[in-house]
Structure 1
Amino acid sequence: MEWMAWTWPTAAFFGVIAALLITFTVLAVRYPETPRHGVLGIETTRGDRLFITLLGSAFINLAWLAIVGAHQPYAMLVCLLYAAAVFRWV
């Protein structure tokens, strides 16, 4: 595992992703939902919205690095606002 260069932020990132997947699995089993139509005009479930949020957050962070360069915690605030919007309106 030395070749992977694990750091605490990397481990925390993957830990949060794993916790989200476990949480969403438990929610899907315990509280099944019907897909809903949002602004995209497609049916989405919680898992779909999580995927859209993670994918969009990756692009937000890449754009932030290209434009701003540093101060990545501010990009996380933008990602949190984006996630709230996706789960509310998509």
Structure 2
Amino acid sequence: MTSLSDFSWPNFSWMAWTWQTAAFFAVIALLILGMGLWEAASPGGAPRHGILRFETTRGDRLFISLLGSAFIHLAWLGLSGLDLWWALVLSVVFAIGVFRFV
């Protein structure tokens, strides 16, 4: 029988945990929390048909925004030598567009 003291925690020393990495995950958590609070305050969110011509909810639009932002950042890293702050600005504009028109 093994005891709790025999348990060894995984070694995460290979991960580059910087304040930027922590801020990234904190923002994702805050977005999900904010969407949950918004849903609690105003249930349903009136699904709508936008330029994609299929029904989307607020959660769908958040997912599309996050997925698109990931691709924007990956493309920025691969194709541009400029700072990632510009990719962040482009991602925020993309997210506003998704929530407005999709």
Higher helix share: 1
Q: CA deviation at 1:18?
A: 0.3
Of structures 1 and 2, the one scoring higher in RCO (CA 8 A, sep 6+) is 1
Q: CA deviation at 1:83?
A: 0.7
Residue 81 of structure 1 is matched in structure 2 by 93
User: 1:41 and 2:82 equivalent?
Assistant: no
Residue 14 of structure 1 is matched in structure 2 by 25
Q: Percent identity?
A: 54
Residue 58 of structure 1 is matched in structure 2 by 70
Q: How many residues align?
A: 90
Residue 26 of structure 1 is matched in structure 2 by 37
Amino acid at match of 1:17: I
The worse-fitting range, judged by mean Cα deviation, of 77-86 and 2-11 is 2-11
Unaligned residue ranges in structure 1 (runs of 5+): none
Alpha-carbon displacement from aligned partner over 1:66-87 (angstroms, at most 9, x marks no partner): 1113311111111111111000
TM-score by length of 2: 0.83
TM-score by length of 1: 0.93
Distance 1:5 1:71 in 2: 19
Q: CA deviation at 1:29?
A: 1.2
Amino acid at match of 1:79: S
Larger Rg: 2
Aligned structure 1 segments of 4 or more residues deviating by more than 4 angstroms: none
Provide the aligned C-alpha RMSD in A: 1.1
